[in-house]
Amino acid sequence: MANVSIKFNGKEFLLSCDDGQEEHLENLLIQINQKFNSLKNDLGNLGENKLLLITAIKVLDEYYETKKKIEEKKKELNDLSKKFKELKNLVYEYRDNKEEEIKNLNNNLNELKRTIDENQKKYEEVLDAATSEISSFIENMDNKNISN
pLDDT of residue 68: 98
* 37-41, 60-64, 98-102, 141-145: range with lowest mean pLDDT: 141-145
d(CA 132, CA 138): 10
Q: Are 39 and 58 within 8 A, CB to CB?
A: yes
Question: Would you state the torsion angle of the CA atoms of residues 41, 44, 47, 51, taken in this order, to the nearest 10 degrees?
Answer: -50
d(CA 35, CA 43): 12
Which pLDDT tens digit goes with each residue over 57-98? Answer: 999 999 999 999 999 999 999 999 999 999 999 999 999 999
The neighbouring-strand residues paired with 2 are 17
Mean pLDDT in residue range 33-60? 92
Which pLDDT tens digit goes with each residue over 118-142? Answer: 999 999 999 999 999 999 999 888 8
Whole-prediction pTM: 0.56
